[in-house]
Amino acid sequence: MKKVTIGLFGFGVVGEGIYQVLSEKQALNASIKKVVIKHPEKSRNAPAELFTTDADEVLHDDAIDLIVELIDDAEAAYTIVTNAMRNGKSVISANKKMIAEHHLELIQISRDHQVSFLYEAAVCGSVPIIRNLEEYFDNDLLISVEGIVNGSTNFILCKMLQEGEDYANALHHAQVSGFAESNPHLDVEGIDAAYKLSIIGLHAFGKQIDVGEILRKGITSLHPFDFQYAKEKDYVIKLIAKATVNEHGELDTLSVLPTFVSRSGIFGQTNNEYNGVVVGSVLADEQFFYGKGAGRFPTSSAVLSDISAYTYQYKYGYKKGLTPFRPNYDRTGRYYIACDKALAVDRALFDEIDEEFINHDRSYIIGKIRQKNLLLNGILNNPQISIISLN
């Protein structure tokens, strides 16, 4: 195990937690030499001499061999990470947007400069999904990866279903509990989950995935009527990220959608800020990974795990390849689509209709729809229409 000297970017709740753990627990054999901050006037629980506003002071310090990047700004994070690796420093990052948008480029830079680039904390908080996909499932034939990968939306949905809170109150509850950002757009619109699914897809299937190719709808269009329907059918609503392969073993479907799941099933029992991911494979059938996905300590746990892995010179192998993904939107799925009676659900969307309902103010149709029809009609972006998968 090598002694690690760290340059840290960002000293929010996660950064401060990392600093405190490394200061108190010497077993990790790692220490922080310098922390780059944006606002030097803020009071912080660490010695003043630890901080700097000059990124170059850290990036060009030969004594620092590992950069831990924990900032919100994806563009700034990209500059930090690429400069660090080009200066021969390994990197740990929690910035899923930056990683998803520049994944192959960042991998190539890390290879060119023979450094580690680790990012477990960018995906599922404390759930070690990336390293398991890399190591345990490296030679298995995977057929699907699906799950709850955003703790913020899961917390909100639980409050709406279990406690009858409306969306605004549930969101506020998540924010004051530290599980949602002051600007929750990336979480509640499913964008954060799409970034994570893109990263997972590369490690699970060896495919470079453009986030824009993921079939996506968030939770902001959900209506109290939808939750009432779920209760009547003994369902719960979860935001599920899903990647599946076809009968030829080719990845062909990627989605992030509100989904009806059984109340007694594993996703139905994954509540509040917790994440749960099921990996399906030819040999091992299904395996379930579960843990906290939002909040200070789960992210800190994943970052510390990457620091520990780096002390043993760990690198991702990407053994399944790095090839472009070509989406197939011809696949048919079963969906519940609901809206106000005055708007009306377009029956032409459906290849088959299983169930219809209309009352004085709300209507829905359940049936089979080709994914391309969801895209072509623009209803995924319509805030007045609920779309919930039953797949």
> What are the residue numbers of the active site?
196
> Is 374:258 a contact under the CB 8 Å cutoff?
no
Residue (of 123, 268, 258) closest to 193 by Cα position: 123
DSSP 245-266: E-TTS-EEEEEEEEEEEETTST
How far apart (Å, rounded) are the C-alpha atoms in residues 19 and 15?
A: 6
Residue (of 284, 287, 272, 207) closest to 243 by Cα position: 207
Residue (of 213, 200, 262) closest to 236 by Cα position: 262
Residue (of 221, 218, 223, 230) closest to 162 by Cα position: 230
**Strands 90-93, 117-118: pairing kind:** parallel
How far apart (Å, rounded) are the C-alpha atoms in residues 68 and 32?
A: 10
> Is 27:88 a contact under the CB 8 Å cutoff?
no
Integer distance in angstroms from the first to the last C-alpha of the chain?
A: 46
Handedness of CA 18, 24, 27, 32 (dihedral sign): positive
> Is 203:134 a contact under the CB 8 Å cutoff?
yes
How far apart (Å, rounded) are the C-alpha atoms in residues 90 and 328?
A: 36
Per the DSSP assignment, residues forming a β-bridge with 352 are: 368
Tokens of 328: 């197939």
3-state helix, strand, coil in the chain (%, to 5): 35, 30, 35
How far apart (Å, rounded) are the C-alpha atoms in residues 255 and 193?
A: 10
How far apart (Å, rounded) are the C-alpha atoms in residues 330 and 46?
A: 56
